[in-house]
Amino acid sequence: MNAVLGVGGGIAAYKSAELARALMERGYQVTVVMTSAAQQFVTPLTFAALTGRKVITGLFAGAGGEETLSSAVEHIAVAQDNDVLVVAPATADLIAKFAHGLADDFLTTTYLAFTGPVVIAPAMNTNMLQHEATRGNIETLRRRGHIIVEAEEGLLACGVVGPGRLAEPDRIADAVLRALSPARHDLDGETVVITAGPTQEPIDPVRFISNRSSGRMGYALAEAARNRGARVVLVAGPVQLPNPPGIEVVRVYTANEMHDAVIAHLNESTIIIKAAAVADYHVASVPQHKIKKTAARLSLDLDPTPDILAEVGRRKGDRLLVGFAAETDRLVEEARRKLVTKNCDMVVGNLVGHEGTGFEAEDNEVVLVTRTGATIPVERAAKREIADRIFDELMRLRLALHAAS
């Protein structure tokens, strides 16, 4: 297998040498493309010595620096001859150029010509990484189906402690391996119904009951299923996320609406994943007009909402059913209880209220409890990575259940 390793300009460029070696240890032939800024941190000779291959440092320079026609179109050949494009470190500048289709050097032109899997590992100052522009550009690339290996937290070269450090080379190399794994097409022919986000239960025409779910985990699962070959129906509550391309999105607000949408797609589904944080109660009788504020105490008469997971569990047949359990304590015990009472095949448990994971965060840390009795902890990672781990274990579970039947 052949990999292009694009090296951006940043102090983390020295780690790209370790990444090149890690990729070669996994059986890749590595062609390194360096931006002009990257060459200020690491010399091309370093990569040439490691890979035994020519390092590409410019769009037009040939031997002796003269411009040649062959070098001017070499980025097309590189894009066609390689199986995966890896960019590490990906600076804010490179990420912005990729997101907006700007191409002014060899790496950015190769990116536009490349049609295979793309793995991007950002590295930069914490404030730059968390800037709205950078986060928006990263989300754009994620929606294109690119794999984002999120930056890690630690002491940065600028002296700041926080997120922005390039992920460890082995973690990036493993992401590359997964990007090219045949298992990424293991959902061909499947129809996966996924719920995401919160619901909103009206109190009156202007107020509602809801929760802090952002929908990011459900959307990550939908993108992972799509990339692995499935037809995906995403039933989404009111979230601030755009519709992902290639996915059928059904927008709902209330638990009743989510219930109806899931049941409407039940017969065509082969896998159902209930990642939404559905409200447990709704107002029994919603007034037609706004409730006026007074000095008196206000009480609400609440009825339970439909238990969508339990109903699907009763009607699922031979479909795979995955539930989620967001808990503040006794995580494994509660996940196992839900597994049994809702007739799930897997329950994904995650502790909420921890900084940096769970609701509203881009990372998650979960434990997978399965019908076969397995308890599988999944360490903190980006929700997109967690999504693939869930599907990896779900496919193993299916094989185990079939073998036991």
| Cβ atoms of 143 and 118 closer than 8 Å | no
Tokens representing residue 268 in the block? 């065509």
| Cβ atoms of 55 and 48 closer than 8 Å | yes
Amino acid identity, residue 204? Answer: D
Reported as type and span, the H/E element at residue 274 is strand 271-274
Contacts of 229 (CB under 8 A, 6+ apart): 184, 185, 186, 187, 188, 189, 190
Amino acid identity, residue 178? Answer: R
| Cβ atoms of 76 and 113 closer than 8 Å | yes
> From CA 178, how far away is CA 114, in angstroms rounded?
18
Catalytically annotated residue among 158, 160, 183, 300: 158
Question: Could you tell me how many residues make up the chain?
Answer: 405
- Is 344 assigned a catalytic role? no
How far apart, in Å, are the Cα atoms of 330 and each of 46, 61, 350, 351, 360?
Answer: 51, 62, 10, 9, 22
How far apart, in Å, are the Cα atoms of 259 and each of 248, 263, 300, 383?
Answer: 17, 6, 23, 25
> From CA 248, how far away is CA 222, in angstroms rounded?
10
| Cβ atoms of 164 and 123 closer than 8 Å | yes
| Cβ atoms of 264 and 308 closer than 8 Å | no
> From CA 233, how far away is CA 220, in angstroms rounded?
13
End-to-end CA distance of the chain: 38
Our CA angle for 143, 260, 264, nearest 5°, is 75
Active-site residue numbers?
A: 158
